[in-house]
Structure 1
């Protein structure tokens, strides 16, 4: 009897985590460059149930049974978000459609070969330097200029150039005086190349990234080396634009309702087992 109780309890936990993932997506619906997460639910390994009598070598197989489900992970969707024109010179948006020869990617950015090998579409990210000197990556290009002239993220992390040094404006120079060219180099108000080029990094397997808060990602240990995007990569950085969150509000609402209904169904199963156990103890046990 308790097997069903454990299955229902695992379902409650899985749906709660699914609910938390969806609500986090909805909360970041207006966060620039935010990438949606999708909860992946898997079942526990199957078990073969059988019955046998004491001291009897024969047994009767009942069938296979899954002992429950669990929310294994939250997979990030790196689908391109819509662009919104802001006309703010410190706002930047990445439009990334990096191709890999011989591969066709679906909407989720995944290509599956005939032998089952999965290849993920490379993605482009702004490169930041955190306060502890480590690299971080983001698609949220709503930047600011600090009091000492550094181009920073909203969280105060400095934006890096291709020389791996933070981008800093000269004294008495405004970011509105700089224009980003197609080659990602800044041009001043006189049309002269400033010598500063925005570093946009290519991550060949974006699923090696983990969230670290404030819209930032960090690479996991043992991840492949990161390279600046090349001229052949189909990547464009647009100034005066902002990439919006790629969260699908309508689908998130449906997923939220589905998680709630599934949670209620598992809750009713737990209540049923609770009532059955109560009868077994208070009524059957008394006889």
Structure 2
């Protein structure tokens, strides 16, 4: 009887975490370059009362055993790096990656990575994120620039008056063996870990790296309908687990009242 109380309690905790993950996904449904998360769960240890296949006193064989589960536990909250929808902005400094890879930016004294390409210019005309992190390698836009173009291979060209070319630079893309192993630090940024492997800088379009395009941004990959359905399922499962606790408590109350 006590086992059912604890098993249901682990179920309520798991569904609470599921709701937390879904709520964060929904909160970032409009965040540029956001990648949704998914909570993964595993069942806990089992109380084995009888092993399948053991011999009975009558010489027969038990076809199925008796195992009682002890509940559930969260094992990971995994980022899903599915491509988000492209949003046309007509802003020449906005960029999107079509395929695998990340933009590398300098945040304080470390290199971090992002899928958000909503770049702007700082006071020294360098491409930077809205939080002030410069794109790496650094790219400086000439002051007389009127038009900026970005090719699939990352070549960025700056045009002045009369379509004069003022300069060119190259946008590089960083790729990882395991994107899901990246550590999310907020501000649309990720840090490499031992799980993700080291970053490899590539020319866009080469060796599996995605290509680049400007005048577009990659939107969040959150599907609002899917998340709402997941939240409803989590809510109902939470209610069912709470009902299990109420039922077990009622049965314990009945057992305690047998003496009267």
Counterparts of 1:197 and 1:191, CA distance in 2: 18
Counterparts of 1:191 and 1:5, CA distance in 2: 75
Counterparts of 2:213 and 2:168, CA distance in 1: 18
Query: Is 2:249 the counterpart of 1:274?
Result: yes
**TM-fit CA distance, 1:223:** 4.5
Residue number in structure 2 paired with 1:178: 148
Counterparts of 1:68 and 1:24, CA distance in 2: 25
Counterparts of 2:195 and 2:243, CA distance in 1: 45
Contact 2:80–2:180 (CA under 8 A) maintained in structure 1: no
Residue number in structure 2 paired with 1:220: 193
**TM-fit CA distance, 1:273:** 2.4
Residue number in structure 1 paired with 2:71: 68
**TM-fit CA distance, 1:62:** 7.6
Calculate the aligned-residue CA RMSD, in Å.
2.2
Contact 2:93–2:148 (CA under 8 A) maintained in structure 1: no
**TM-fit CA distance, 1:187:** 1.1
Residue number in structure 2 paired with 1:30: 30
Counterparts of 2:195 and 2:230, CA distance in 1: 34
Query: Is 2:233 the counterpart of 1:261?
Result: no
Query: Is 2:106 the counterpart of 1:125?
Result: no
Residue number in structure 1 paired with 2:208: 233
Tell me, what secondary structure is at the counterpart of 1:124? Answer: coil
- The count of residues paired between Structure 1 and Structure 2 equals 243
Give the structure-2-normalised TM-score: 0.85
Q: What is the CA deviation profile of residues 21-47 of structure 1, one whole-angstrom value per residue up to 9, with x for unaligned ones?
A: 111111111111111111111101222
Tell me, what secondary structure is at the counterpart of 1:188? Answer: strand
Contact 1:18–1:71 (CA under 8 A) maintained in structure 2: no
Query: Is 2:251 the counterpart of 1:248?
Result: no
Counterparts of 1:222 and 1:76, CA distance in 2: 13
Give 5+ residue unaligned stretches, structure 2: 51-63
**TM-fit CA distance, 1:279:** 4.4
